[in-house]
Amino acid sequence: MSDESMHSALVGPGSDWWKPAGRQEKIWVTVSFIWCIFMFAAMPFWHFKGGQNPSGTRGKVDPMAFYARTQKFIEDYSVGTDQGIPVVEPPAGSEVYLLGQMWMWSPVLKLKKGVEYTIHLSSLDLNHGFGLFPVNINIQVVPGYDYALKMTPTEAGEFKIICNEFCGIGHHLMIGKIIVED
Amino acid sequence: MKDAISQFAARCRSCPITGLKIDPTASILLRLHAVVSVVCLLIGGIAALLLVLTRWEAVHLLDATWYYRLLTAHGLNMLIFFIIFFEMAVLYFAGPIVLSSRLPAPKLGWLAFVLMVVGTLIVEYYVFAGKADVTFSSYPPLKAAPNYYLGIIFFAVGALIVSLQFVATLVIAKKEGAYTGSMPLVTFGGLTAAIIAVITLLHGALIYIPTYLWSLGLMNVDPQIYRLLFWGLGHSSQQINVAAMVSIWYLLAGLTVGGVVLNEKVSRTAFFLYILFISMASAHHLLVDPGMGPAWKVWNTSYAMYLAVLASMIHGFTVPAGIEMGQRLRGYTNGIFEWLRKAPWSDPGFSGLMISLVIFGFLGGITGVVIGTEQINIIVHNTLRVPGHFHTTVVGGTALSFMAVTYYLLPLIFRKQIRMYPLAKAQPYIFGIGITVMSVAMTFMGVFGVPRRHYDSSFSNALFTADFNPVVYVLQAIFGIGGILAFLGLLIYVLIAVASVFFGRRFDPANPEASAGHVPPGVIKLPKQAHEGGERVAKLHKTGTPGTVVLVIIFFVCFVLYYFVNWKSLAFIWKIG
Ligand code: HEM
Ligand SMILES: [Cu+2]
Ligand SMILES: [Cu+2]
């Protein structure tokens, strides 16, 4: 400030306040700016170099059509039931269909470790949330949209799908299962 | 026109402490909005306590229906009613009062207030009657009773009118010579908030009117488009909160320690960036949604360079630096941190300001940027990390700053002494510590995969169970204790505010010393707000603010560490693409 005066934010600065910033402020703004650019660049970078991106292929789908597709998928590869829910073991690398509806995920999936599947997520009724436990992969499931994500299980074991989007009074009962074998 | 001005001059009183002229209608409306705001805060707070005692599995107080119902009530009463009513009060303060201007259309102000109150009452009725168990975000096809949406529309139109009237106030104040030169920074920040409010509320109309028609069966609403537009409203309104909060930081800095604006250009540019980058905010709610592709997501969360984050990082420097400089001007020039050690920590306006600043910056800001990163959002979306994050921004940051400024508004605007002042001194600490403990516990639970908005993490009646790491149950207890503490802090605030407004002794601004011990020190002796240049001031200019430099270095290191830790833990999960 030319006259070196100072005032609080309650006092008008007069008309001439476009003045050079102090050295410390300038450095901080510069450092922050570079950091912001860096954080931006990290996102496209991870698309090229990283293994976890919520890209997938996305499209609109009629909920009934998705339901029918899931039923067909279940018929094709069903290997039994678990708690009344069909268990499905799809061939390695195939297209997998997982339907959310009030208040269950179907089918139960049996997958192979280290194999890539294309998992189609959609809903028959409301928004649901695909929350893979304990891996902690969380994806929004929106009715009318097919979100097809390539997933490769990296460990064997039993995993749960917790619904993590509020979907009515039975929301907390909505839990599914994925079994990964070596 | 001339007539209106002289009438105003006759009607308004001038405040002997700050020298500001007070338009009586603006002053009444300010007080009414503030009072309704506090009532909503109390409703939301009681709901919060019951939610805490439900999610703490060892207590598990409510049944599922009431958990989801009060979740809805809590979200609405806090995020919408409490916050926005308070912001309208802030606009009345930053506009007509700070500028010593008349209100252009007092009747419109009343109309807006009535609309907002009626809207609120409608929404409260439908929520508590169980006709809108949809959470505050009400994603279709989940449907509430049509009038619920109508109530929100009423409320939003009211708020829109207040914001527009604020802008009109700036125009007539300039024209009628209430101020010359540029408006003070506090008002500029208020203007930022008002402009964002107008844009936001228009988004609101864009989404709530079709949704209302849809609930009546008159049209279709695409669930994904709804989510996009809803967050155009829902997150942009968080930008209003940030702008309002930062303005309050600047205001309180001035009132409590004579904090200065180091550079008007820098601070104003930072405010301006909030407006430019406003719609960014919507996108980071949709990072793992099926409706948009990665390019859209990356671009719209960052506009390629995160300039809204930059803006907050700038304020994160200039506010504490202004405080430091204010303290140095008051003579606390020894070493790097004397200004901080000798600060008025028992002034609730000051402690509230500082705790809000620290919680918002260190916890809210850092976690927000990190979890809003496209890929990192995969391990965060809809887990408890999300409410863990925003209880450090909008609660530990915004709500706490609103509480802090109340301790100044009570004497300055309400002309009341503060009841139970000793308790008021402790209140920001109780609330701040409670919210921090609760939020950190929520964040860690989220890391273990515990979902938000979820009644029963033991899955007792479900087909399968998820066996959470036993640590989760310890975290639940910590969360519970933090939540109860925060609730106590909130309750103390509400009690003090209500008791002071309705049963407070008069604060006599002509003789502030008579109120000593019942009002914050800044009210009794306002620190110097303007300093002529001179040798001493020039020397301080040269030293700058070394203490703040140290603080932001610590902040930056935490930020970078947290950022990379999250990328690292993302890299451990399944391959997904
Ligand atoms: C005493 C203070 C508070 C406590 C103890 C508290 C506690 C909670 C709890 C336990 C939840 C539920 C999390 C879940 O189950 O998913 C919640 C949600 C929420 N809180 Fe608070 N809260 C407090 C203050 C506030 C304030 C002041 C605001 C806003 C200004 C706020 C905004 C919200 C919002 C928007 C939600 C999300 C609701 C939803 O998921 O639909 N809270 N809070
Ligand atoms: Cu669900
Ligand atoms: Cu659900």
- Residue B577 tokens read as 């693409």
Q: Is the four-CA dihedral B180, B186, B189, B190 of positive or negative sign? A: negative
pLDDT of residue A76: 95
Q: Which long-range contacts (CB under 8 A, 24 or more apart) does A55-58 make?
A: A55/A149, A55/B293, A55/B294, A55/B577, A56/A147, A56/A148, A56/A149, A56/A150, A56/B290, A56/B577, A57/A148, A58/A145, A58/A146, A58/A147, A58/A148, A58/B290, A58/B291, A58/B292, A58/B293
> How far, rounded to the nearest angstrom, does the alpha carbon of residue B335 sit from its chain's CA centroid?
34
Mean pLDDT of B540-547: 89
Most distant pair of Cα atoms in chain B: their distance: 76
Q: Is the pLDDT of residue B142 over 90?
A: yes
Assess whether the previous peptide bond of B141 is cis (omega < 30° from 0): yes
Contacts of B262 in chain A (CB under 8 A): 21-22, 25
Q: Which amino acid is present at B413?
A: I
**Hunting for tokens 């988004």 — which residue is that?**
B203
Q: Is B372 helix (H, G, I), strand (E, B) or coil?
A: coil
pLDDT in tens, A110-168: 999 999 999 999 999 999 999 999 999 999 999 999 999 999 999 999 999 999 999 99
CA atoms within 13 A on the CB side of B564: 7
- Residue B334 tokens read as 């020894």
The ipTM, to two decimals, is 0.94
pLDDT of residue B180: 76
Distance in Å, alpha carbon of A89 to nearest chain B alpha carbon:
19
pLDDT of residue B305: 62
Distance in Å, alpha carbon of A150 to nearest chain B alpha carbon:
5
Please tell me the distance between residue A175's alpha carbon and the centre of ligand 3 in angstroms. 9
Please tell me the distance between residue B474's alpha carbon and the centre of ligand 1 in angstroms. 20
Q: Do the strands A95-101 and A117-123 form a parallel or antiparallel pair, or are they unpaired?
A: parallel
**Binding site membership of B483 for ligand 1 (Cβ less than 6 Å):** yes
**Interchain CB contacts (distance < 8 Å): A and B:** 354
Mean pLDDT of B250-254: 93
Count other C-beta atoms under 10 Å from residue B524's C-beta.
16
Please tell me the distance between residue A164's alpha carbon and the centre of ligand 3 in angstroms. 5
CA distance B461 to B361: 41
Q: What percent of chain B has pLDDT over 70?
A: 95
CA distance B203 to B63: 35
Site to probe by mutation for ligand 1, drawn from B38, B68, B74 as the one with most ligand atoms within 8 Å of Cβ, is: B74
pLDDT in tens, B308-335: 888 889 988 999 999 999 999 999 999 9
| A104–B294 CB contact, under 8 Å | no
| B251 and A10 Cβ atoms separated by less than 8 Å | yes
Mean pLDDT of B73-101: 90
| A19–B254 CB contact, under 8 Å | no
| A133–B571 CB contact, under 8 Å | no
| B576–A149 CB contact, under 8 Å | yes
| A6–B577 CB contact, under 8 Å | no
Q: Which amino acid is present at B539?
A: K
Contacts of B387 (CB under 8 A, 6+ apart): B439, B442, B452
Mean pLDDT of B388-400: 96
Atom of ligand 1 nearest to the CA of B241: 30
Distance in Å, alpha carbon of A79 to nearest chain B alpha carbon:
19
CA atoms within 13 A on the CB side of B436: 17
What are the angstrom distances between the C-alpha of B328 and each of A50, B87, B540? 48, 31, 7
Distance in Å, alpha carbon of B355 to nearest chain A alpha carbon:
20
Contacts of B84 (CB under 8 A, 6+ apart): B116, B155, B159, B237, B240
Q: Is B22 helix (H, G, I), strand (E, B) or coil?
A: strand
Q: Is the pLDDT of residue A37 over 80?
A: yes
Site to probe by mutation for ligand 1, drawn from B41, B138, B238, B391 as the one with most ligand atoms within 8 Å of Cβ, is: B391
Which ligand gives the minimal distance to the CA of B47?
1
Contacts of B62 in chain A (CB under 8 A): none
Atom of ligand 1 nearest to the CA of B398: 30
Higher-scoring residue by pLDDT: B214, B187: B214
Closest residue on chain A to B322 (Cα): A8
Mean pLDDT of B475-491: 98
| A169–B65 CB contact, under 8 Å | yes
Q: Is the pLDDT of residue B460 over 90?
A: no
**Hunting for tokens 């864009």 — which residue is that?**
B206
Q: Do the strands A108-112 and A137-141 form a parallel or antiparallel pair, or are they unpaired?
A: unpaired
Which ligand gives the minimal distance to the CA of A123?
2
Average pLDDT, chain A: 92
- Residue B129 tokens read as 């009657």
| B287–A44 CB contact, under 8 Å | no
What global pTM score does this model have?
A: 0.94
Mean pLDDT of B171-189: 83
**Binding site membership of B442 for ligand 1 (Cβ less than 6 Å):** no
Q: Is the pLDDT of residue B7 over 60?
A: no
Mean pLDDT of A54-75: 94
pLDDT in tens, B356-375: 999 998 899 899 989 989 99
Question: In the structure, what pLDDT confidence band is assigned to residue A1 with cuts at 50, 70 and 90?
Answer: very low
| B222–A144 CB contact, under 8 Å | yes
- Residue B225 tokens read as 């488009």
| A144 and A62 Cβ atoms separated by less than 8 Å | yes
Site to probe by mutation for ligand 1, drawn from B395, B400, B488 as the one with most ligand atoms within 8 Å of Cβ, is: B395
Higher-scoring residue by pLDDT: B8, B112: B112
Options 3.40.640.10, 1.20.210.10, 3.40.710.10, 3.60.110.10; CATH for B2-460+470-525+542-571 is 1.20.210.10
Distance in Å, alpha carbon of A78 to nearest chain B alpha carbon:
19
| B313 and A164 Cβ atoms separated by less than 8 Å | no
Atom of ligand 1 nearest to the CA of B452: 16
**Binding site membership of B45 for ligand 1 (Cβ less than 6 Å):** yes
Among the residue ranges B105-119, B273-287, B401-415, the one predicted with the least confidence is B273-287
Among the residue ranges B128-132, B277-281, B349-353, B565-569, the one predicted with the least confidence is B277-281
Contacts of B29 (CB under 8 A, 6+ apart): B92, B103, B106, B109, B110, B113
pLDDT of residue B470: 93
**Binding site membership of B399 for ligand 1 (Cβ less than 6 Å):** yes
- Residue B349 tokens read as 């306006």
Per-residue HEC secondary structure of chain A comes to CCCCCEECCCCCCCCCCCCCCCHHHHHHHHHHHHHHHHHHHHHHHHHHHCCECCCCEEEECCHHHHHHHHHHHHHHHEEEEECCEEEECCCCCCEEEEEEECCEEECEEEEECCCCEEEEEEECCCCEEEEEECCCEEEEECCCEEEEEEEECCCCEEEEEEECCCCCCCHHHCEEEEEEEC
Which ligand gives the minimal distance to the CA of B453?
1
Please tell me the distance between residue B391's alpha carbon and the centre of ligand 1 in angstroms. 7
- Residue B356 tokens read as 């809000």
pLDDT of residue A2: 41
Assess whether the previous peptide bond of B104 is cis (omega < 30° from 0): no
Average pLDDT, chain B: 90
B123, containing H or E segment: helix B106-128
Q: Is the pLDDT of residue B13 over 70?
A: no
Atom of ligand 1 nearest to the CA of B483: 5
CA distance B356 to B360: 6
Mean pLDDT of A100-116: 95
pLDDT in tens, B196-241: 888 888 888 778 999 999 999 999 999 999 998 888 888 888 888 8
Q: Which of B170, B382, B570 to mutate to test the interface with A (most CBs of A within 10 A)?
A: B382
Q: Report the nearest-CA residue for atom 40 of ligand 1.
A: B453
